[in-house]
Amino acid sequence: MTLTVLTALSHDWEGRMVEVVDRLPGVSVGRRCVDLADLLAAASAGLGDVALVSADLRGLDRDALAHLRAHGVAVVGASHAADEGQERRLRQLGVDRHVQVATPGEDLLATLTSARSARTACATDAQVGWPGEDPPTAPIEPVTDLTPPPPTPVEPARGQVIAVWGPTGAPGRSTLAVNLASELAAAGAPTVLIDLDTYGAAVAQLLSVLDEAPGLASAARASELGTLDLMGLARLAVEVSPRFRVLTGIPTPSRWPEVRSAAVEHIIELSRSLAAFVVLDLGFGIEDDEELSYDTAAPRRNATTLGGLAEADDLLLVGAADPVGLQRMVRAVQGVGQVASPPPRPVVNRLRASSVGSDPRRRVETSLARFAGVDGVAFLPDDPAAADAALLAGQTLAECAPDSPLRQAIAQLAATFTGGAVPAGRASGRGLLRRRA
Ligand SMILES: Nc1ncnc2c1ncn2[C@@H]1O[C@H](COP(=O)(O)OP(=O)(O)OP(=O)(O)O)[C@@H](O)[C@H]1O
Ligand SMILES: [Mg+2]
């Protein structure tokens, strides 16, 4: 089977590399791409198996590499001569195979072939599965070797990702995300809160984090360039109180194209190593805007929310306790069921009889069970006094209204994740990057 290579290389030596590759047995050059856009289009059109790219290819970042891989194209780095700097940059982006113009033919062929096989193996792994039936069982071998098995390597601890999402209409996603994260931290679990709402980031303001705090946009940029590591993320995620870190959102909604899905996945994955809990404040939109565009490589605004949902281990679906909010919640349960996400756990916020009728809990539970098929609803009371006080002070409920019904309800919800006692009392301690209230 011919191996087809796409090249996107520095103009100075591109011709020589193409000549070398084209002479390899069983290999052909499918397209000599002039730039990254050309390469992405060729990959989308299925024109190649392996892309040979140079580190200085303009615009090459993690998102572009994810696009190539998603279209079944393996990536191999190339440079003119040995160049440690270029190789390091590509390795940081996840490209671990590298060749030079002077690489001997058989080594070059082996690298290209192994890149293609690794890609094929990944694709096959992903497809393996026996939907709806048990996997075939292998015959059981009699046990003859009684030596004890080698000790299982201890897996590094991985934080649990809790997505807080809900439909449009400001049902209270940010209020819940901020205070849930603060309660998890108060209960002793290191927690990172990431503001991934590309329509209306609010966490910085809700917690009085200084405007200069760089946050998500910087983390995404560093991730795209392959320079984001755990230490870098820890520097960007401001510690607002003990064990409670915050990665603030994009300063203005118009900057949403700076946050690409591959970077979001990478940031969430790294955050799992930074904390026991990673709480995501997500925007409301989950339509796949790729379908609305002819350019499948274009940035997608809702990709941030979709990526957060896909990475999450738990999903709190927040809705407002009024007829409009509940109807949106029913649609949201159906909508989120169509995308990769954990099963939703409904949280009905601002519960009050005046908007739902007498015995509001029972009414809401009955309607959600009947129309959305969900149960196990958590309720948060309508508590404008506490919510407004927290907003005005730029503090968490634990800091400014510790005895309020809303704080107590969120603390109870947090305890279902920590399995611990409900934290009580006023939280204290402020991080360096917060304004004094
Ligand atoms: N339980 C509550 N009781 C009273 N007010 C509340 C409650 N929960 C949230 N609020 C208030 O409702 C408003 C919207 O809340 P929030 O910003 O958390 O919603 P959101 O879903 O994140 O909205 P957005 O669409 O802007 O992201 C805020 O003024 C907040 O203080
Ligand atoms: Mg919000």
Instruction: Tell how far the Cα of 333 is from the centroid of ligand 1, in angstroms.
Output: 20
Nearest CA to ligand 1 atom 9: 172
Residue where the block lists tokens 């955050």: 271
168, 174, 175, 206: which to mutate for ligand 1, most atoms within 8 A of CB?
A: 175
Nearest CA to ligand 1 atom 16: 172
pTM: 0.75
Instruction: Tell how far the Cα of 437 is from the centroid of ligand 2, in angstroms.
Output: 21
Two tokens, residue 318:
């927040």
The mean pLDDT value for 78-106 works out to 88
Q: Is any ligand 1 atom within 6 A of the Cβ of residue 382?
A: yes
What is residue 1's predicted lDDT score, i.e. its pLDDT? 77
The mean pLDDT value for 141-162 works out to 63
Tens of pLDDT, residue by residue over 175-193, are: 999 999 999 999 999 999 9
Whether 322 has a pLDDT exceeding 70, the answer reads yes
Two tokens, residue 421:
């006692």
Q: Domain ranges in the chain?
A: 3-121, 160-435
Q: Is any ligand 1 atom within 6 A of the Cβ of residue 395?
A: no
Name the residue with higher pLDDT: 271 or 56. 271
CB 403 within 8 A of CB 176: no
What is the identity of the amino acid at 130? W
Q: Is any ligand 1 atom within 6 A of the Cβ of residue 195?
A: no
Q: Residue 404 CA: which ligand is closest?
A: 1
Pairing of strands 277-282, 244-247: unpaired
Whether 150 has a pLDDT exceeding 50, the answer reads yes
164, 165, 174: which to mutate for ligand 1, most atoms within 8 A of CB?
A: 174
- Residue 97 and residue 115: Cα distance in Å, rounded? 8
Q: Do domains 3-121 and 160-435 have the same CATH topology?
A: yes
Q: Is any ligand 1 atom within 6 A of the Cβ of residue 431?
A: no
Ligand 1, atom nearest to 171 Cα: 21
Q: Is any ligand 1 atom within 6 A of the Cβ of residue 350?
A: yes
> Over the range 291-306, which residues count as b (16 or more CB within 10 Å of their CB) and which as e?
eeeeeebebbbbbbbb
**High-pLDDT (> 90) share of the chain, %:** 65
What is residue 349's predicted lDDT score, i.e. its pLDDT? 98
Tens of pLDDT, residue by residue over 390-411, are: 999 999 999 999 999 999 999 9
Instruction: Tell how far the Cα of 299 is from the centroid of ligand 2, in angstroms.
Output: 22
160-435 adopts what CATH topology?
A: Rossmann fold (3.40.50)
Whether 426 has a pLDDT exceeding 60, the answer reads yes
Class of domain 3-121: alpha beta
Whether 64 has a pLDDT exceeding 70, the answer reads yes
Q: Residue 168 CA: which ligand is closest?
A: 1
Tens of pLDDT, residue by residue over 335-353, are: 999 999 999 999 999 999 9
Tens of pLDDT, residue by residue over 357-384, are: 999 999 999 999 999 999 999 999 999 9
Q: Is any ligand 1 atom within 6 A of the Cβ of residue 41?
A: no
Tens of pLDDT, residue by residue over 224-264, are: 888 898 989 999 999 999 999 999 999 888 888 889 889 99
Concatenated DSSP letters for 353-374?
HHHH-SSHHHHHHHHIIIII--
Two tokens, residue 374:
């969900």
Residue where the block lists tokens 């509940």: 326
Q: Is any ligand 1 atom within 6 A of the Cβ of residue 175?
A: yes
Q: Is any ligand 1 atom within 6 A of the Cβ of residue 384?
A: yes
Instruction: Tell how far the Cα of 418 is from the centroid of ligand 2, in angstroms.
Output: 24
What is residue 287's predicted lDDT score, i.e. its pLDDT? 84
What is residue 402's predicted lDDT score, i.e. its pLDDT? 97
What is residue 155's predicted lDDT score, i.e. its pLDDT? 53
Biggest distance spanned by C-alpha atoms of the chain: 80
pLDDT grade for 421, boundaries at 50, 70 and 90: low
What is residue 133's predicted lDDT score, i.e. its pLDDT? 35
Two tokens, residue 171:
């049902």
Instruction: Tell how far the Cα of 8 is from the centroid of ligand 2, in angstroms.
Output: 41
Sheet holding 74-79, edge to edge: 27-32, 3-8, 50-54, 74-79, 98-100
What is residue 125's predicted lDDT score, i.e. its pLDDT? 41
Q: Is any ligand 1 atom within 6 A of the Cβ of residue 349?
A: yes
Nearest CA to ligand 1 atom 23: 170
- Rounded to the nearest angstrom, the gap between the alpha carbon of residue 118 and the centroid of all alpha carbons in its chain is 24
Tens of pLDDT, residue by residue over 14-49, are: 999 999 999 999 999 999 998 898 899 899 889 999
Tens of pLDDT, residue by residue over 118-148, are: 876 544 443 333 333 333 444 444 445 555 5
Cα dist. 117→40, 51, 75, 120, 405 in Å?
A: 21, 14, 12, 5, 58
- Residue 30 and residue 420: Cα distance in Å, rounded? 59
Whether 107 has a pLDDT exceeding 60, the answer reads yes
Residue where the block lists tokens 């015959």: 139
The mean pLDDT value for 304-333 works out to 96
Average pLDDT, the chain: 87
